[in-house]
Amino acid sequence: MNADKIPDIIIGRLPVYLRALQRMSDSGMKTTSSQELGELVGVSAAQIRKDVSQFGEFGKQGTGYSITYLLEKLREILKVDRIWDVALVGAGDMGHALAHYQGFSNRGFKVVMVFDNDKSKIGQKVGDFTIEDTVNLVEKIKSAGIKIAMLTVPASAAQGVADKLVQAGVKAILNYAPISINVPQSVKVQYIDPSTHLQRMTYYV
Amino acid sequence: MNADKIPDIIIGRLPVYLRALQRMSDSGMKTTSSQELGELVGVSAAQIRKDVSQFGEFGKQGTGYSITYLLEKLREILKVDRIWDVALVGAGDMGHALAHYQGFSNRGFKVVMVFDNDKSKIGQKVGDFTIEDTVNLVEKIKSAGIKIAMLTVPASAAQGVADKLVQAGVKAILNYAPISINVPQSVKVQYIDPSTHLQRMTYYV
DNA sequence: TAGATTGTTAATCGATTAACAATC
DNA sequence: TAGATTGTTAATCGATTAACAATC
């Protein structure tokens, strides 16, 4: 156990472990080892043990880890032992796909608001949501206490919207716009840009 | 200049530099410095210089980097000084969004085929593409010489499709399915899973 | 008990930063 | 020329791996 600051790189791997454990659990497995989990997610057994042991002693010598118990602990650590409301800004193709996405609910998230600044889209339905005007974004997000947002607007609009999200009290932004955004240190950003991801592989092809 | 093996972590940052330089160029800028580029993308000036200098001496003391020249060099290094044909497997919401995505063409990629195994989807149109049967995937991809694929199928189908892609000669897979896949070392995989990305941030909120 | 596997330490390996001579 | 900024070296910092005592 270690109360010091946990490196980002370790936090980054935990969701991958969590996802694999969820699948193991769904398939009826009860226990696993660092060896087995490591092979499944592509990291060394030593690293699995080191990462997990930052937060406590969750395994048993000789038998490994109880999948249910480790799942519970990882969910607590990552704070996804609850459902986070998420705001979606940008109702284009990607926004629609995310609004319809079925993979959030059992992973700790729920889209609850969709915004766009296009007058022709405002008032339209996306799945269960009515598209709201970005003009009201700060007020709506603030009063709903939403801390997480996904950004699917064009690159040219991204920084402006990000500034509003910060102003509204959002602390985590999943940015699909193909541009780096500047936010205060207290706000986390993750980037998803398919072209960038593809360009990380072409070098090796 | 250094002919040794370049670390993955450096290759991973180059597309981000490339993207920022493209924007600088679009806005009419002619030169930049490691300082300026670093602030824009959120890394130290020293790191920008170190990363870029792995591949040659692209800057000039006193004046910095010519944006056009550095763009050209980075595109060469990453092999995106050309257009790569990309196959898309899985014609759900995410597949549709990617098939319509406008952000590939000026970044080195072009979707040219869409596959699904759902009989009710096969033959339907997605943008300019007719959805083809996954049964023909190996043959079609192999004969077209396609080396890059995007995977937007359910987690349960992902490993099976990945195996077929490998068999077809694909060397780079952008995996949107929420599961780790196993492929030979010679095949690169990048993961995009919105829930995983969100879970990397909740710890800090 | 014997076998298996953890948690942890120490050693190794790799990445980042600071600093500065070179030079545009 | 004087000022600015690169490319690179050495120092620092951090992450990964190997190994093994502890113990289920």
| Same domain (yes/no): B88, B144 | yes
Q: Which of A96, A180, A198 sits opposite B40 (nearest CB)?
A: A180
Q: Show the tokens assigned to A135.
A: 């003009």
Three-state secondary-structure class, residue B86: strand
Percent of chain B scoring above 90 in pLDDT: 97
Distance B99 CA to C20 C1' (A): 51
pLDDT in tens, B11-64: 999 999 999 999 999 999 999 999 999 999 999 999 999 999 999 999 999 999
**Domain finish residue from A25, A58, A78:** A78
List the 174-193 stretch of A: residues with Cβ below 8 A of B.
174, 178-180, 182, 188, 190, 192-193
Is B124 an 8 Å CB contact of chain A? Answer: no
| Same domain (yes/no): B48, B89 | no
Q: What is the mean pLDDT of chain A?
A: 96
Q: Which of B42, B94, B172 sits opposite A205 (nearest CB)?
A: B172
Nearest Cα residue in chain A from B19: A179
| Same domain (yes/no): B11, B106 | no
Give the number of domains in chain A.
Answer: 2
User: Does A93 contact B94 at a Cβ distance shorter than 8 Å?
Assistant: no
From residue B118, give the alpha-carbon distance in Å to each of B8, B113, B130, B157. 37, 16, 13, 12
Three-state secondary-structure class, residue B59: strand
Q: Report pLDDT for B98.
A: 98
A38 Cβ contacts chain C strand, under 7 Å:
no
pLDDT in tens, A62-100: 999 999 999 999 999 999 999 999 999 999 999 999 999
**Residue that has been written with the tokens 């991801």 in this structure:** A197
Nearest Cα residue in chain A from B105: A195
| CATH number of the domain to which B22 belongs | 1.10.10.10
Distance B176 CA to C4 C1' (A): 36
CA-CA-CA-CA torsion for B174, B179, B180, B182, nearest 10 degrees?
A: -80
Nearest Cα neighbor of B108 from B140, B144, B137, B76 is B76
| Same domain (yes/no): B71, B7 | yes
| Same domain (yes/no): B122, B162 | yes
Contact (CB, 8 A) for B166 and A136: no
Q: Is residue B21 part of a domain?
A: yes
What SS3 string covers chain A?
CCCCCCCHHHHHHHHHHHHHHHHHHHCCCCEECHHHHHHHHCCCHHHHHHHHHCCCCCEECCCEEEHHHHHHHHHHHCCCCCCEEEEEECCCHHHHHHHHCCCCHHHCEEEEEEEECCCCCCCCEECCEECEEHHHHHHHHHHHCCCEEEECCCHHHHHHHHHHHHHCCCCEEEECCCCCCCCCCCCEEEECCHHHHHHHHHCCC
Separation between Cα atoms, residue A151 and residue A165, nearest integer Å? 10
| Same domain (yes/no): B121, B64 | no
Q: Which of B100, B101, B195 sits opposite A103 (nearest CB)?
A: B195
Q: Report pLDDT for B8.
A: 96
Q: Report pLDDT for B1.
A: 43
Cα-based angle B175, B176, B180 (whole degrees, multiple of 5)? 55
Q: Mean pLDDT over residues B120-146, rounded?
A: 97
pLDDT in tens, A147-180: 999 999 999 999 999 999 999 999 999 999 999 9
Is A156 an 8 Å CB contact of chain B? Answer: no
- Which residues are CB-contacts of A186 (< 8 A; sequence separation ≥ 6)? A171
Separation between Cα atoms, residue A69 and residue A55, nearest integer Å? 13
Q: Is residue B151 part of a domain?
A: yes
Assess whether pLDDT exceeds 80 at residue B177: yes
Q: Is residue A204 part of a domain?
A: no
Is A29 an 8 Å CB contact of chain B? Answer: no
Assess whether pLDDT exceeds 60 at residue A3: no
- Given pLDDT bands bounded at 50, 70 and 90, which one contains residue A115? very high
Q: Report pLDDT for A4.
A: 67
Count Cα atoms within 13 angstroms, Cβ side, for B60.
8
From the number of C-beta atoms within 10 Å of its C-beta (0-12, 13-18, 19+), residue A144 rates as middle
Count Cα atoms within 13 angstroms, Cβ side, for B134.
21
Q: Is residue B133 part of a domain?
A: yes
Smallest CA–C1' separation from A10: which nucleotide? D15
Q: Is residue A176 part of a domain?
A: yes
Q: Show the tokens assigned to B170.
A: 């694909």
Q: Is residue A203 part of a domain?
A: no
| Same domain (yes/no): A70, A113 | no
DSSP secondary-structure letter at B80? -
Q: How many CB atoms lie within 10 A of CB A150?
A: 28
| Same domain (yes/no): B130, B56 | no
Residues of A in Cβ contact (< 8 Å) with B100: 93
**Domain finish residue from B78, B102, B130:** B78
Q: Mean pLDDT over residues A37-49, rounded?
A: 97
Which nucleotides along chain D are within 7 A of a protein C-beta? 2-9, 14-19, 21-24
What type of residue sits at position A173? Answer: I
Distance A9 CA to D15 C1' (A): 9
Total length of chain B = 205
Q: Report pLDDT for B2.
A: 45
Distance A16 CA to C12 C1' (A): 26
| CATH number of the domain to which B124 belongs | 3.40.50.720
Q: Report pLDDT for A198.
A: 98
Assess whether pLDDT exceeds 90 at residue B4: no
User: Does B79 contact A203 at a Cβ distance shorter than 8 Å?
Assistant: yes
Assess whether pLDDT exceeds 50 at residue A2: no
Separation between Cα atoms, residue A73 and residue B7, nearest integer Å? 33
DSSP secondary-structure letter at B32? E
Nearest Cα neighbor of A155 from A92, A81, A63, A99 is A92
* Domain containing residue A58: 3-78
Is B55 an 8 Å CB contact of chain A? Answer: no
Q: Is residue B204 part of a domain?
A: no
| Same domain (yes/no): B153, B121 | yes
Q: Report pLDDT for A57.
A: 96
Q: Report pLDDT for A1.
A: 44
| Same domain (yes/no): B178, B101 | yes
| Same domain (yes/no): B50, B140 | no
Q: Mean pLDDT over residues A131-156, rounded?
A: 98
Q: Report pLDDT for A164.
A: 98
**Domain finish residue from A54, A78, A102:** A78
Nearest Cα residue in chain A from B37: A180
Q: Report pLDDT for A165.
A: 98
| Same domain (yes/no): B110, B57 | no
Closest CA of chain A from B40, distance in Å: 7
Residues of B in Cβ contact (< 8 Å) with A101: 93-94, 194
Q: Is residue A205 part of a domain?
A: no
